[in-house]
Structure 1
Amino acid sequence: MNIAKNMEAIFVAAIVIASATSFATAAVSTPVIAVKAEASAMQTVTVTAKRLTAAEKAAL
């Protein structure tokens, strides 16, 4: 199957799918509620490592 011959059909099919998806999602009236984490419960990561010297950086 030569894809260059069918490029117009592929383009039209993609537009139809995109249009149907946009109309389907536009019909949803209730907004999606995201759950937020508490600011005090945020996890932190502490990295304790020595810095490379100039000689070690040059060796990399």
Structure 2
Amino acid sequence: MNIAKNMETIFVAALVVVSATSFATASGPAPRLAPTVAVQAGADANMTVVTVSAKRLSAAEKALLKG
């Protein structure tokens, strides 16, 4: 079987399978979830903070790294 000759048939068959699967697995409307409470970013005292103190590379140094 030459796959290149039958590519359109394979595509249509895959499309039919995907469409049938989406209709078969589609239930009713999505359940409504209770609203969640938003947490502010500053509320967690145990949050890890990382500070990077390094100088930026110059254009010549970047060129050396690229190879």
* TM-score grouping bracket, smaller chain normalisation: 0.5 to 0.7
Structure 1 residue runs of 4 or more that deviate by more than 2 Å after TM superposition: 32-47
Q: CA deviation at 1:35?
A: 7.8
- The corresponding residue for 2:8 is 8
- Percent identical residues: 45
Count of aligned pairs: 56
Ranges in structure 1 where 5+ consecutive residues have no aligned partner: none
Ranges in structure 2 where 5+ consecutive residues have no aligned partner: 63-67
| RMSD, aligned CA | 3.2
TM-score by length of 2: 0.51
Map residues 1-60 of structure 1 onto 2, 5 A cutoff: 1-26=1-26, 28-32=27-31, 38-40=37-39, 46-53=49-56, 57-58=57-58, 59-60=61-62
TM-score by length of 1: 0.54
Q: CA deviation at 1:50?
A: 0.8
